[in-house]
Amino acid sequence: MKYLRVPFVSTITAATAITDVSFFLNGATRHSIDNLLWSNSGYKPNVSFAIAYTSESILLKYFVTEKYTTAVYHEINDPVFEDTCVEFFIAFGDDKNYYNLEFNRLGTPLVGYGPGKQDRTLLQNASISQIKSLGKMASEPDAEGHIEWELALCIPLSLFVHHHINPLTDSIGRVNFFKCGDNLPEPHFLSWSSVDSPLPDFHLPEFFGTIQFI
C-alpha cells in the first residue's frame, strides 16, 4: 500500500493569496497519478500532484497534460466527474467514512462524505465555498497536440465538518488521488494508489494509501 508524508508549511496562512499558494506548490515534491485503470485504449494522461499543509488548510496542486479537456459545470456539487476532473479522497484516523473532493479544471467543486459510493451526503454550499482555487491552462497545445493545465487548491480544515482535526500534525489517515473524464472523447481513469475492481469505481477505501502529516 502506498504511503504519503505531507510536510508542514509555516509561511502560508489563511490570508495568503491563492496565486502565492500555487507558486509555492510549483516547487514542492510531485507525486504521480499513474495507475491506468479500466482502459481499453491505453490512453494515459500525464498527471501529478503536490501537497502540503498549514495550521489551517491542506494545500494541493494538480499538474495535467492530456489530449482533451472540457469544463461545462460551474455550480457547486455539479457532476464535475463528467468534465476533465481531478479528485482527492481522504479518511481521517480510523473513520470508515471518507470525504470525496472532486474538481474540474475551472475549480468547480463537488464534495461528499460517507462510507461508500452509494451512501454519499453532499456537503453544504456554505462549507464548500470556503475552498480557494486557481486554474490555469496553456494557451496553445504542445508539440504533440496535448493540453497542459494546472489547478491549485487551498482546502480549509473547517471544510471537514464531521471532524475536529486541528492541528493535523502527526495525524494519519487514508487517501487516494484520481484523474478522470467520463464524457471526454477518450474516457479514462487514473489513480495514485491502485484500485483492484472489475468495474470503474473510485469509491473503494480498502485501496486507499496511507497519509501522514509530519
DSSP H or E run through 214? none
Grid cell at residue 205: 477505501
User: CA torsion, points 111, 114, 118, 124, in degrees to nearest 10?
Assistant: -40
pLDDT in tens, 57-88: 999 999 999 999 999 999 999 999 999 999 99
Omega of the bond leading into 109 within 30 degrees of 0 (cis): no
**CATH code for the domain defined by 3-213:** 2.60.40.1190
Across all residues in the chain, what is the average pLDDT? Answer: 97
pLDDT value, residue 127 = 98
Grid cell at residue 138: 496553456
> pTM surpassing 0.95?
yes
Grid cell at residue 133: 482555487
Residue 118 burial by Cβ neighbours in a 10 Å radius (0-12, 13-18, 19+)? exposed
pLDDT in tens, 17-73: 999 999 999 999 999 999 999 998 999 999 999 999 999 999 999 999 999 999 999
Grid cell at residue 8: 508542514
Gap between the Cα atoms of 149 and 164, Å rounded: 33
Contact 31, 209 (CB under 8 A): no
pLDDT over 90 at 144, yes or no = no
Omega of the bond leading into 167 within 30 degrees of 0 (cis): yes
pLDDT in tens, 80-122: 999 999 999 999 999 999 999 999 999 999 999 999 999 999 9
Q: How far is CA 198 from the centre of its chain?
A: 23
Gap between the Cα atoms of 13 and 21, Å rounded: 9
